[in-house]
Amino acid sequence: MLTEERVEAIFKEMDQLVIELQSDPSCLGPEYFQDLIATCRNYLNRVGLVLNELNRERLAVSSEVRRLEALYELEHDELLANDQTVKELGASIEDRKAAVGWRLRHQRAALNDAKARQHGLNAVHKVVAFRNKELHATMAAIRDQKRLVLSEIRSGSFYGDERPVSRPGEDDGGGVSAEDLAAIFADAPTENVVASDANVAPVSVEPAEQSLDDRAAAPADATETHALDDLFESI
């Protein structure tokens, strides 16, 4: 049976199960959300236990109310129909019902007491159910704040990370853009390729064409000499 002291204790406990959220949690770190989620989960567990207690009490009281109602109606109808003293009151049905109600006044008092306890339990249950609904809404708000902070971190707009993000064609802050670097490398002369391995000898790339002066200065073999003589004689 739920006493008045227990009801008062439940009301006080429900008033303490309140969580206040920060308006700007981005600067508090992940431990802030972990602590809030754990606290809210513990509050929900406590409210769930109180709801189970109230539901058990409501079931017992509602069963008692139905039993007393059925018993009262049975005794009321039996006296109204078969009791000789009630029949002698006359033909007025209202007088008979009043007489029967007076004789069953103790049963009716017990029924009214059970209904009063049922009404009180329903009132307490509404308070606890409201706190349970509010805590679920608080849990959803905590998760929404956490998602917003994660979105800020992924987008790069998180507080403390205001470094500019360079895009193609924009200056990255060093004075040279990406397009300028590409033009510099495109205009750079091609140098001889040197192998990175120390055991491999470097390979030189010779030009594909030579000038006439270079050919004249270079030593020629006998075949090339005769070919040049025949060319001069023909001219």
Domain boundaries, the chain: 32-154
Burial label for 138, CB within 10 Å (0-12, 13-18, 19+), is buried
131 in helix, strand or coil?
helix
**Which of 80-84, 153-157, 178-182 comes out lowest in average pLDDT?**
178-182
Task: Please report, to the nearest 10 degrees, the dihedral formed by the alpha carbons of residues 139, 143, 146, 152 taken in order.
Answer: -140
pLDDT at 148: 83
230 in helix, strand or coil?
helix
Q: Which residue has the tokens 């078969």?
A: 82
- Global pTM reads 0.59
- Cβ-contact 130, 52 below 8 angstroms: no
DSSP 165-220: ---TTSB-SSS-BHHHHHHHHHHSPPPPP--SSTTSPP-----S---HHHHHHS--
Q: Is 29 left (phi over 0), alpha (psi -120 to 50) or beta?
A: left
Q: If residue 120 lies in a helix (H) or strand (E), which one and from where to where?
A: helix 105-155
Per-residue pLDDT tens over the stretch 104-142: 999 999 999 999 999 999 999 999 999 999 999 999 999
Per-residue pLDDT tens over the stretch 189-203: 554 444 444 454 444
Higher pLDDT, 83 or 42: 42
Per-residue pLDDT tens over the stretch 65-103: 999 999 999 998 888 888 788 877 777 788 888 888 888
